[in-house]
Structures are given as structure tokens and as C-alpha cells.
Structure 1
Amino acid sequence: MGRDYYAALEINRNATDADIKKAYRRLALKYHPQNSSQPGAYDKFNELAEAYEVLSDLRKKATYDKFGEEGLKGGIPPESAASGAWSSGYVYHGNPNKTFRQFFGGDNPFADFYTADGNEVSIDFGGLRGRGVKKQDPPIERDLHLALEDLFYGCTKKIKISRRVMNEDGHTSSIKDKILTITVKPGWSEGTRVTFPKEGDQGPNNVPADIVFIVRQKPHPRFVCRKNYLIYTAHISLEMALTGFSVEVETLDGRLLNIPVNDIVHPQYSKVIPGEGMPTSDSPSTKGDLIIQFNTHFPEKLTAEKKRLLKQVLTL
């Protein structure tokens, strides 16, 4: 009875070309003599190569399916051969490393499995680890621009990406879209990084890159945000700076704060309103402070009489 190439690759007779390639990839790595110390590993490695050589070739596979190993290697009798069918016996070349190199590419498929000092790097059942052939592409970083209100309340952002995805055959690829969902938490700040592991382009010999979104705050008409502090700039006159006034500030959640300022507003002065800043990401119910800075507008000129009166008042 002839050999069962399907059993050798641990697949059934309905296996597709992609199934055949996937099975050979997995088993050839498992039983490669440099990776396996099991007794008979080389014989199994050789058997896998022959099975793949036959089943990956449409004409050889068709002949094997109809006539078995005997018909494949002994040739098809003339009375059984159809036009264009196999006419002479198939001879396996007997070099499993040749098949392995052709499948994985390169003259020395295991070149990357060794360190500079010649020490071997192990290969696990499903492929390579350590300095294996598959290396991850560098991260792909993109800015995520958010309004200050998004960072105050939190929100959900859906982003469509287009990436290269491997087809079932393990060798070709196509471009497909995917929606990534980002749940923005209240209190996130400028520079917060959101990582989607291995969502970059796929390839036969690479680990897809991580996609990283970096939070960038859009300019706001009233506030500047520094971590969980909100900074508001009030424009006042010199008279107000010296005599006192009230500042109205509309908060991000729509409230109107009326803040009295009774101190003299000097250039370094600021007013701190506790608990009216941004929420903290680890405890959204806890908020930072609102800091009011002041831009004092001085008069462009004064009459002699006003100067005299000012000197009189300031010297009292």
C-alpha cells in the first residue's frame, strides 16, 4: 500500500492549497533537525517535504489522488492517461532542505536563528521566538486631536484604518478597513498614549506593528489646560487692578462663576479657585484647580492733571 501524503501533513483530502501550506509550515518547523531532538525527526522532515512537493503541485496531486503513490511514481499506463496527464513517473529529489528553503526563502533559512557567538536560538511549535525570522515592525504613531470638553467629560472615538491583511494562503495579502474604538476617559491629558497591539500591516515574515494614538488637545477659546489645572486669563484695567472687581468665568460644564478679587493685582498675582479644574483620570470625581491670571491694560497717556492727582493719591 502506498504512502498517505495527506496523513503525513495531518490534513484531509478536502484540504485547500492554503491548508496544505499552513500544515507544511507548522510541521516543517516542528520537525526540522535543528529544532527537534525527537528520534526519527529527519525522516519525518523528509516525509513532510515529499508530501508537500506532491500535494502543492496541481498535476502531481491530481495523479496521486487518482492513482496513488504507485501510479505517481511508476507512471500512468497509456490506456489510463488522459490528454496532458502525467506520463512518466515522479521522482522525489530527496533533499528536504531544498524544499524548506524554497518555501521559507533564502539559502540559509535558519541564519537568523543564531546569535553572533554561534549559540542557537530555540524555535517553538508554532514558529520562532527570540531573534526569530519574524520581527515586529516599529510602532505607528498618530495624533488624536481632542477638544477640551472631550477630555473633561470623556467620549468615544471611532477611527477607521486601512491595513494590509494576509490572505488564507499565507503568502498573498489584501487591503482591508477596520474600525478602532477609543474610549476617552475624563481627565486624560496631553500626551496620553493609546496602543492597539499588532494592528499594523500584516506580512508573511513580520509581526504587525502596534498602532499608537497620542492625545493632542485642540486650542480652546477660554482655557489652557496643564495636567488637571485649567488656566483662564482675565483682561482688566489698571483701575480694576488697584481698586478691586469681579470676574465672570463660564465653566466647561456651563456654569457661570462670579469671582470677587479684592487684592491688588500685581504682575505676578493669580487667583486660585479649588476644585474647578479638570478631573483626574484615576478619580474623575476629584478635580484640579482653576487658576485665573490677569492681563492688566495700562492707559496709553495721561493728562498733566491726572498725573498730578495720581501722584497725590499714591503718596498718601
Structure 2
Amino acid sequence: MGVDYYNILGLTRSAASGDIKKNYRKLALKFHPEKNPNDQAAYDKFKQLAEAYDVLSDLRKRAVYDQFGEEGLKNGVPEGSGETGAWTKGYTFHGNPDKVFRDFFGGDNPFQEFYDRVDGDLSMGFGGLAGRGRKKQDPPIERDLALSLEEVYHGCTKKMKISRRVMNDDGHTSSIRDKILTITVKKGWKPGTKITFPQEGDQGPNNVPADIVFIVKDKLHPNFRREGVNLIYTADVPLGKALTGCTVDVHTLDDRTLHIPINDIVKPGYVKVVPGEGMPISTNPTEKGDLIIEFNIMFPTTLSPERKEVVRSALLL
């Protein structure tokens, strides 16, 4: 009947490639010679696991094995229709289970880093499976998420297209594929807010994909800038109105127009605070910061002698 590679790995014939990897990893660690010193039975099992994984993790070998069994795999089978008389080359396991183990874990000996010898026995080292036996995650990939003040004021949904390397079903090759990540922007998100998509970076056989992190950044706005939860608006006011009073019209982010009376004398550094007309507070969007109006006092470029005299008389009274 021949060797049952599926049974060796504790699998059925319908096992997916991920199941093959998962079971080999678990059993290879269990029967590794470092954990079972001077145990020939464990070493024999470790070797059987390596051969089973070597066959079932390769799509071509697995297909031949599934159709023709161990005999067909190792002796070769007719190529194509068989009319040419050509046969495939038979499979022979190279006999080195340590090579399969190293290739799988991507290191020379993962046990050197996640096991410590204590009085001749093996115990889990500090951090558990934190050495070479554990796949290391790539550093986060950070990208700007540029949002208009209107988008942050109202909240919105952004769809971000990324291209990443994805492992194919054979577990050895990869291809570039696009993916759409959906971000639900909440009202009042501040610049620097981070949105993390775990493990959406490039995949590889020996790594954990990086997290993709989007960082909120404000787009320039023609009328406002924000500081914390407050909106800052700069009003251009002629000198005469700065001294005698005026009304400032402000078109808001939600399409209203505020008519703000300015009765004080507008001097350098003067600001007008309009409570509750700023940005939503992210933790409680029903509340808002303030609108702060700053002033750019516009001085005349020229004055006739008569007007100078009027100004002089008015200011010297």
C-alpha cells in the first residue's frame, strides 16, 4: 500500500496547504532531536515528517502522489499521454530532515534561541517561542491619510487601494495583488490619529506581514486651520472698521453663514471667540470646540492731506 504521507502529518487528503504547514510545524517541533535526545524512535518520526512535508508541500509531487501513490512517485510515471514512452524522474527524499526543518523555519537551528539547556534537560527559554523558530514581523508601513476639514467635520468613508505581495497556494511563490482597505473616518479625528490594519503588508514564507498604519494629516483649507478642537479663521478688516466696529461673515464647514458682530476696537493681538463653532470632539461628537477669529488689520496705502487732518483731529481728541 505504501507510505501514507497524509497520515504521518495527521491530515486527510483534502488538507489545504495551510494545514500541511501547520501540522508539520507542530509535529516537527514535538519530535525534533533537540527535544528528544538519544530517542531513535523520535528521530525516525522527525525524518518521516520531513519527507511527508517535502512531498505534500510541493504541488507537482503531491499531484503525482495523490494519483499514483508512493510507488508512482518514487518510480516515475508516464509523461503526457504516455504515447512517447517517456517517464517522469522518480522522487527520492534527500534524507536530510534538518534541511527541511531549517528551510521551513528560515534559520540554522531555531532551538538555539528559544530553548535553554538546564542541567541537561530542555526547558522553554525566556519569551517562549521568540527565537528563530518564530516568524518575525516586518516593521509597520506608515502612510499619510490626508483629509479635508470637511471630511473630518462630518465624518466619511475612505477606500484606500494598496498593492502587496501575496503567497500563492503552493507556499513557495508569490504574486502582486491589489486590495481595498476601508477606513471609517470618525468626526473630529485629530492629526496624528493612527488607523492600523494588522498584517496587511507583503507576505513571505518566513515572515509575518507588516501592519499597515494610516496617519491622519490635515489638507490645507482656504479659510480655516485647526488647533486641537478649535477652528482658526483670519478676517481682513479695514483700519476704519477695526476702530469703529463691523460684522464678520464666516461661512462654516457645514454650509451655514455666521454673522459675528465686532463691537470692540480691533487692535493687534485681539481675537474673537465664538463658542461651539469649532471641530467636533472625537470622544463626544455632539460637542464642539470654538471658532477663534483672528484679525488682519488693513491699513490704507495713501491718505490725502484732508483725510490725514480728519484722522489727526479724531485721534487727538
Query: Does the 8 Å CA contact 1:21/1:169 hold for their aligned counterparts?
Result: no
Residues 313, 110 of structure 1: alpha-carbon distance in 2 compared, 3 angstrom cutoff: same
- Aligned residues: percent identity? 57
Matches within 5 A, 1:21-32: 23-32=23-32
- Match of 1:155? 156
| Equivalent pairs, count | 300
Give 1:30 shift: 3.3
SS at structure 2 position matched to 1:240: helix
CA distance in 2, matches of 1:233, 1:163: 44
SS at structure 2 position matched to 1:177: strand
CA distance in 1, matches of 2:181, 2:28: 36
SS at structure 1 position matched to 2:220: coil
Query: Does the 8 Å CA contact 2:281/2:287 hold for their aligned counterparts?
Result: yes
**Residues 1:195 and 2:196 aligned together:** yes
Matches within 5 A, 1:35-74: 35=35, 40-52=41-53, 58=61, 61=65, 65=69, 67=71
Residues 93, 307 of structure 1: alpha-carbon distance in 2 compared, 3 angstrom cutoff: closer
Point out where structure 1 has 5 or more consecutive residues left out of the alignment. Answer: 74-81
- Match of 2:146? 145
Give 1:83 shift: 6.5
SS at structure 2 position matched to 1:308: helix
Give 1:308 shift: 2.8
CA distance in 2, matches of 1:277, 1:242: 27
Q: Over the residues paired in the alignment, what is the CA RMSD in angstroms?
A: 3.7
Please identify, of 26-35 and 144-153, the stretch whose mean Cα deviation from structure 2 is larger. Answer: 26-35
Query: Does the 8 Å CA contact 1:144/1:214 hold for their aligned counterparts?
Result: yes
Give 1:104 shift: 4.5
Deviation by residue 1:78-133 (Cα, 9 ceiling, x = unmatched)? xxxx964789xx98776532443355555x23277259999974797xxx545645
**What TM-score results when the alignment is normalised by the length of structure 2?**
0.79
Residues 274, 18 of structure 1: alpha-carbon distance in 2 compared, 3 angstrom cutoff: closer
Give 1:226 shift: 1.4
Q: Which residue identity is paired with 1:113?
A: E
Please identify, of 219-228 and 180-189, the stretch whose mean Cα deviation from structure 2 is larger. Answer: 219-228
Residues 2, 101 of structure 1: alpha-carbon distance in 2 compared, 3 angstrom cutoff: same
- Match of 2:10? 10
Deviation by residue 1:181-216 (Cα, 9 ceiling, x = unmatched)? 100001012221111111000000111011111112
Residues 162, 30 of structure 1: alpha-carbon distance in 2 compared, 3 angstrom cutoff: farther
Residues 294, 167 of structure 1: alpha-carbon distance in 2 compared, 3 angstrom cutoff: same
- Match of 2:236? 235
Residues 99, 215 of structure 1: alpha-carbon distance in 2 compared, 3 angstrom cutoff: closer
- Match of 2:278? 277
Residues 307, 250 of structure 1: alpha-carbon distance in 2 compared, 3 angstrom cutoff: same
Point out where structure 2 has 5 or more consecutive residues left out of the alignment. Answer: 76-84
CA distance in 2, matches of 1:117, 1:308: 98
Query: Does the 8 Å CA contact 1:272/1:290 hold for their aligned counterparts?
Result: yes
CA distance in 2, matches of 1:146, 1:175: 28
Give 1:24 shift: 3.1
Query: Does the 8 Å CA contact 2:201/2:211 hold for their aligned counterparts?
Result: yes
Matches within 5 A, 1:1-316: 4-13=4-13, 23-35=23-35, 40-52=41-53, 58=61, 61=65, 65=69, 67=71, 84=87, 95-104=96-105, 108-110=108-110, 113=113, 121=125, 128-129=129-130, 132-316=133-317
Deviation by residue 1:122-155 (Cα, 9 ceiling, x = unmatched)? 797xxx5456452111111111111111000000
CA distance in 1, matches of 2:296, 2:259: 18
CA distance in 1, matches of 2:287, 2:145: 25
CA distance in 1, matches of 2:290, 2:235: 16
Q: Which residue identity is paired with 2:145?
A: L
CA distance in 1, matches of 2:198, 2:14: 35
